[in-house]
Each structure stands twice: as structure tokens, then as C-alpha cells.
Structure 1
Amino acid sequence: MPITPRSHGLWDATAPPAPALAPLSGAVRADVAVVGAGYAGLSAALRLAEAGARVVVLEAAEVGFGGAGRNVGLVNAGLWVMPDAILSALGPARGEALIAFLGAAPQAVFDLVARHAIPCEAAPVGTLHCAVGTAGRAEIEARAAQWQARGAPVRLLDAGEARAMVGGGAFSGALLDLRAGTLQPLAYARGLARAALAAGAQIFISSPVTAAGETAAGWRLATPAGHVEADHLIAATDAYGTGPFAPLRREQVHLPYFNLATAPLPEEVRGTILPGRQGAWDTQPILTSFRLDAAGRLVFGSVGALDRVGGAIHRAYVRRALARLYPQLGQMASEVASEVAFEAGWHGMIGMTADALPRFHRLGRTGVAVAGYNGRGIGPGTVFGALLADLVLGRVREADVPLPPSAVQPARWRPAREAVYAAGSGLAHLVAARF
């Protein structure tokens, strides 16, 4: 399963090359085996290797193949769930711990980028949550109040301020979160891999785990051409788990999400769109996200997959949406096409849990996992990976994990719900922005 322009689009085209890696061959002994080379797995491997542990990462495809290499690149604080809802779900002690832990996640990401000089277009300039209509305005007002009560540097913008910072649109306001920002997501994953390798970790690609079992000494993980024996296991496969780790995938409902990228915008147009370079997304039930990359390409995403009939529907929707949001893009349309051309398009899957909260799992005696980032993989994946490493190293206790341990349980009605999401996004985009 190689990374291709269809699977990873702009990010593969503009990221630095991946480190030269090979499949596992033969037998390897480690203190910790990590399964999955996304943000959580690589963050855990880096933390473990820097502590002197012998760590082996097994990746079924390539570094950043899953959500880590496909997302829009918004480094957000917290979760989709509002802070007060987290308290209701987890209780005051653990709830406030999770809120603080994930509120600080973007800074942890940007600190790693700076410490390891990761070339990933990091822009810690904030994000904009844009309100659509009165319901959207009420939502961001509630978010602002709940974060401000906890001292977070968020600011509520009125419609005029939102229009100035977005550079267009008719939003009823926006929530500016100064903790957040953007980066090139696949470049960040590859940079984490290089940092982990430099610290002494071993990473094997094209090495799917075909069997996993506990032994008297820990774990034995088999791949097509070898096996790893380790004292501890960290499963970091999330929504792309296969084989023995497919249950972590099946406890989530998968929401398809696509991104389309224009060619670099002319300077005179680029300066009018998101002039502060914040990444943005809106409050619509079928949300859209938009941002600029370092070269001035406009990346626009929403729910759906760019395959079969759906691809044409979603592309047409984006062109209509962009015409309303940024009329100045008309300058980029050629006389022949009379519409904005897209340089790249790709899609992936967001894993959604029943309550939109991540899950912490104990796997046997010496295995751990966190899964279900619900579209917030960059910050939460990075900090949860490091936390699982600290748990394995004995630096923290299980009571310090800001999630309760839970059993792995399949999502109810998962195939039917996934079919509804895919069909519903296509239908919504077929009619959206036409009137």
C-alpha cells in the first residue's frame, strides 16, 4: 500500500522525502513494540528512544499512510466536544485533566517541531472556527465562554472581524484560538520518524502485524517476513488498524473526508485570503475546512470521498462554495475552463467514537492503546503517544491518564451509519451553495 497522489495528494507532492526504511526481516528483540507509524506511534517511539529504551515500530504501509498523512493540517486545541460536555462525560477531576492536557497539545506539537527542526511549514498563528447563522454563532459563543473560563487565549470575533480575518464569506462571527495553527501533516509525520530514528528507534515499513500474542515475557508480534518480541506493546493504529488490531478500527464509525488544493494563488489574490494565515473551519453539520499552504495554495476540504460519482459531486460543490466565499478567485480561472482548477485531490477516513471522546485501552498485562481522535489527530495523537510511552516507562501511573480504561467494543450499526454518512455528504453537496 504505497503513498500515491490519489491517496495523499498535495502533502506527498510537497513533503520532504520519507526516511529510507525497509520491511522487517527475521527476529528482533525490543523493550517496546509500537504498532503504527502515525503521530501517536512516532511520538511514543521518539519519547521511548530518548529515554534509552529499545523500541521497534511496525508499520503496515508507509510512515504517515493513515490519517497522519491525509488530514487538512489544522493543529487544534481540545476536541470537537465542548469542555463542559467533557466534564459531564468524565467527571470533574478526569474531565478537567483531559481538557488541560489537550488544550496544551498544539504547543507540544510546535515545541517538537522546533526542537527537532522538522521542516513541516509549521504556522502557530491560531485557527478560526467560523460561525454559520444564528445557531453557529451560539455554538462559538458557548465554546468561547467555556474556554475563557479556563484561561485559554481564545477571542470571539464579530461578523466584520471574521470577514476581515477570513478574507471573505458571510459568517456571523468566528472563534480565534491563539493556541492553535497549521502545518504540513505528512511532513510532520516524516519529521517525527526521522527524529525517532536519530534517537535510536527502529522503524519497519510494509510490515503488517499478522499475529499478536502475549508471552511469559511480554508480546510476540509476527509480520510476513519476521517477528518482534517485546516486553511492552503500544498499539497506535487508530482508524487504520488491521489484523489483530482491527478491533480498534471497528470501535469507530468512519467518516470520509476529502481535500482539494488549487495551484499557488497569485500574490495579489493570496494577500486577500486568510491574510493572517490561520486555518479555518465552519460550524455546519457537514463541515468545511480551508487554509493556505506555504506556497499559497488554497486547500479546501469537507465530508465525502473523491471516488466514483461522489468525486464529481464534491468537486463541483467546492467550486460553487469557493465562488461564494472568495469571488476574487475568479482571477485564477482560465478563459477556457472559466473556473478554478485543482492541482491535487485526496481523501481519507476520520474515526468517530460514539461520544466523540478517545478511548484508552489496556491490552493484556503489558499492552496499551489510545484510539478514536475524532478528527483531532495531530495534537491529541502527539501528546497521547508521549503519555503512553511515559506509562510504559513507569514515569506516570494509569491513574494519571486523563481517560478511563475501557474494553474494546465494536461501534453499533457501523456499516449502515458509514453508508449514510457517505451518501448524505454527496446529497448535501449536490444541492449546497446553489442558491
Structure 2
Amino acid sequence: MRQLQQACLWETLTPHEAWSGPLEGEVQADVCIIGAGITGLSAALHLLEQGQTVCVLDAHDVGHGGSGRNVGLVNAGTWIKPDDVEATLGRRHGSRLNTLLGQAPAEVFAQIRRYGIGCQARNDGTLHMAHNAAGLADLRDREAQWRRRGAAVELLTGAACAEYCGTDRITGALLDRRAGTLDPMAYTRGLARAATGLGARIHPHSPVQALARAGHGWQVHSGQGAVSAQKVIIATGAYTEGEWTQLQRHYFRGYYLQVASVPLQGAAADAVLRHGQGSWDTRKVLSSIRRDAEGRLLLGSMGRADNKPDWFIRGWADRIQQHYFPALGKVEWHLHWTGCIDFTPDHLMRLFEPAPGLVAVTGYNGRGNTTGTLVGKALAQFLLSGDSQALPIPLSAMQAVRGAGLRSSLYETGFSLYHAGQCLRVIL
């Protein structure tokens, strides 16, 4: 049996590139971006195209955080239903956010084409799979809400559902033709490559230690260097580190584990998601399912794998695989990894402007590929124009999430117990 390794599949598939190295000395820029993920790099590209000078800092490497470690779904909309978005934000702002995030997959795929990014991109849609009658009712409601807004969604049942999903354990699946899949690390590093081609300075392994006003601009200090900039974007999400910002108080951290098999071949493997969609089910503690370009089966769920033994991870992955795809037989699991998600209580993001020329975002709630691409562009436009209408939602007051640490701990405990029940075949 192959050893189960703790490593992110997407990082192993994406060639490492040498950027500018850690920040040293004094650097001048129009805009300093903290966080070399999808949001920060999308913002960088749009600023550079408008003639701005940009310096990007990251405590680790390009794509190290959620941008490079996620499932790779290019989702339309938010985690919650569009009617709920409008109920929370109000009709005007909620409708605008639904429209913009409904169009966000098209923006991602346009960026990929524009900059020639090789990242296994497929605009073939996604499948939200009903695991029981309640899940099917939920999907019917989602279909009706999106169709009222003109979205290209379709609820598959019967033979069509079985053909698309590759399993008879699903009662229905909502096919969202706007969406798709990609290799998130390759997408993120492709954005970085495009940004450096336009003149951006990208400094990995440069954790920010201080952020302070300097005249009409800002000084961003990191190790042996500092960036003087007129404006700053904080785009670190769930991977925000250090005492220089209070941003960590405005979300609670969750975790997401993934397991990847060796490449699978044969008729049984070809039947799994045969039309190329990525998917996830309607369980409270969901399972995500997709395949990559080389035929690997990728399973994911809420919770951590990096603090659990190999037998637990294999047991969970075997349980999900054998339930949905028993025809595959015994699958050989190769890699596992864990990423972080910045959650908010209402599952909607927050945009902040703590001071003039300083903007920040949190709360993607696990939808960073599309949301980050959209928000990065919007933050760039806002800094250039000063017009808040460029933003997808209004700016929020800085209000901390109560009991963020406790929420995170309780969620993780619940997820671990649920997965233990799956391993023991008590629940599924």
C-alpha cells in the first residue's frame, strides 16, 4: 500500500517559480497589497493595467493559503440561497451581489484566457447533489430562485442525474452551467506570473510586522524591509497573521480537508462525474467530489486532516468512496491536505475601510476562486476612483465576531465526531 502523504496535490502539480525573494530595503509603490492569493493578485493586475505601481507581500509563498489549497470549484453565487442574500443585505444590495457573483465564473475564465493561464480550467458546470429527500427539496428551491434570476441552472433527476454523477446514491443534482473547475494553485500562480509581467514586485516569505500611517500614505514593515505606499489592500483572509491588524477578530476560522487518490483508469472510473463537473452533496457536513485532469479522485469535507492519523483519513475516504462509487473497488489514496476558511455568522463577506486608503476583505466562506477574482478587481477600482459603487457590497463597520475562537473549536469538534461516525459506519 502506498504511503499516505501530507501534501497539497495542487502544489505538487504546479511548478515552483522564483519571484523577487523576501523584501529587503525601502520600496516605493502606489499600492501595497498584503496577501499573494487570488484577491490580492487580481487587484494587482487591475491596478497595473491602470498604470499603478504595485508591491505584493506574503508571509509564505504565492498561493500558500486558501487560494492554492481549495477544492478548485469555480462557483457562481454565495454559499446561501439568493433570496437569503437579499433578505440579509436588502433587495438592492443583495440583488447586486447575486448578479455579480452569478457572473463571477465568466470573469475567472476570461482572466484565464486573457493571460494564457494553464490550470486545468473547465467551464462545464458544477453539481450540487441531493443525498436525501430533504436535500432534493432544498435543491428544487435553489433552482427556482436562480431561474427567477435568469441563471442557467437545471435540476437533474432519474437517468440524467445518474449519468452526470456516476452514482445511484443521489436523488437529484443541481447542474449550474455557469460554473466549472480548475487547479487553484496553477490559477493563482498564473495570476502572479501575469502581474510580474506587468511590473509588479512580489515578495514571498515577507510577513508584515507593522502597518502605520506615514504622512498621507502608509508604511508596511516586514523583516529587513518596508514599503511606502499611498494605499494598502489587506487580502489575507483566513491566513491573516500577526498583531499588526485586528482583522482576525472579524471572522472565525474553519478547516477543510481533502484526500486525493492515485490516477484512476477504466470504465468504473470514467463513469464518475463523466462530464467533468465538480460536485458537493447536501449533507450538513458536506462531502465534495471531483476528478482532476489526470483522473485522480478528490474527496473533501469540513474539518482537519493534518491532526489525525492515516487510518482515520483512509477510513473516512473509503467510506465516502464506497458509498457513492462502490464499482471502483479499493481505491489507493495518495495525498491529503488541510486548508483554512474564513467564516462569518451569516455566510456573507465583509469589506472594510478602517482608514482612508486602507481596505480589507474577510469572509469568503469557502468561495474564494470566484469571489476573490471579483473582489480583487472591485477593490482596485475603488482605490482608483474613490467610488463605493465599484464595490459588490457596501463597506461594513468594523465589528468583531463574538466568540470567534470558541466557534472555531466547536465546529472542529463537531466535524471530527461526524467523521468518526462515518469511519465507524454509524452515520454517513
8 Å CA contact 2:381–2:390 kept in 1: the answer is no
Asked if residue 381 in structure 1 is aligned to residue 380 in structure 2, the reply is no
What 5-or-longer segments of structure 1 have no aligned partner? 334-339
The residue type equivalent to 2:400 in the other structure is: P
CA drift at 1:310 = 6.1
Q: Is the 8 A contact 1:208 1:224 kept in 2?
A: yes
Deviation, 1:9, is: 1.7
1:364 maps to 355
Q: How far 1:88 sits from its partner (Å)?
A: 0.8
- Matched with 1:278 is 277
- Partner residue of 1:352? 343
Does 2:393 align with 1:406?
no
Listed as ranges, the matches of 1:325-336 within 5 Å are 325-330=324-329, 333=330
Partner of 1:212: 211
Structure 1: how far apart are the matches of 2:245 and 2:292? 34
Partner of 1:419: 409
Q: Are the equivalent residues in 2 in contact too, given 1:214–1:364 (CA < 8 A)?
A: no
Larger displacement relative to structure 2 (235-244 or 56-65): 235-244
Runs of at least 4 residues off by over 6 Å: none
Q: Which moved more, 1:70-79 or 1:399-408?
A: 399-408
Q: What's the CA shift for 1:21? A: 3.2
What amino acid does structure 1 have at the position aligned with 2:367?
R
Identity of aligned residues (%): 42
Q: For residue 399 of structure 1, report the CA deviation from its aligned partner.
A: 3.2
Map of 1:191 onto structure 2? 190
> Structure 1 length normalisation: TM-score?
0.94
Q: Which amino acid aligns with 1:429?
A: H
1:207–1:431 CA distance, 2 compared to 1 (3 A): same
CA positional deviation for 1:244: 4.8
Measured after TM superposition, the shift of residue 272 of structure 1 is 1.1
Deviation at 1:354, TM superposition (A): 1.3
Residue 160 of structure 1 deviates from its aligned partner by 3.2
**Alpha-carbon distance in 2 for matches of 1:262, 1:80:** 27
Q: Which amino acid counterpart does residue 340 of structure 2 have in structure 1?
A: M
1:258-273 equivalences in 2 (<5 Å)? 258-273=257-272
Q: CA deviation at 1:100?
A: 0.7
Residues 103 and 19 of structure 1: CA distance in aligned 2, closer, same or farther (over 3 Å): farther
Per the alignment, in what secondary structure is the counterpart of residue 119 of structure 2? coil
Decide whether the 8 Å contact of 1:247 with 1:408 is kept in 2: no
How do 1:56-205 and structure 2 match up within 5 A?
Answer: 56-205=55-204
Equivalent in the alignment of 2:38: 39
Tell me if the contact between 1:310 and 1:426 (Cα under 8 Å) persists in the aligned partners.
no
RMSD of aligned residue pairs (Cα, Å): 1.5
- Counterpart of 2:8 in 1: which secondary structure? helix
Kept in 2: contact 1:160–1:173 (CA 8 A)? no
Cα deviation for residue 417 of structure 1 reads 1.7
How many residues in Structure 1 have an aligned counterpart in Structure 2? 421
Alpha carbons 1:37, 1:57 under 8 Å: kept: yes
Q: Which moved more, 1:143-152 or 1:305-314?
A: 305-314
- 11-20 vs 52-61, greater mean Cα deviation: 11-20
Name the aligned partner's letter for residue 110 of structure 1: F
Tell me which residue corresponds to 2:255.
256
Q: How far 1:50 moved relative to its partner?
A: 1.4
SS at match of 1:322: helix
Deviation for aligned residue 1:249:
2.6
Q: 1:87 to 1:308 in 2, by over 3 A?
A: closer
Query: Which residue type is aligned with residue 171 of structure 1?
Result: I
TM-score, structure 2 as length reference: 0.95
Post-superposition offset of 1:146: 0.8
What letter matches 1:377 in structure 2?
A: G
Q: Is the 8 A contact 1:105 1:382 kept in 2?
A: yes
Q: Which residue of 2 aligns with 1:430?
A: 420
Q: Give me the whole-angstrom Cα distance separating, in 2, the residues matched to 1:245 and 1:156.
A: 47
Deviation string 1:90-124 (CA, Å, 9 cap, x unpaired) is 11111111111111111100110111110100011
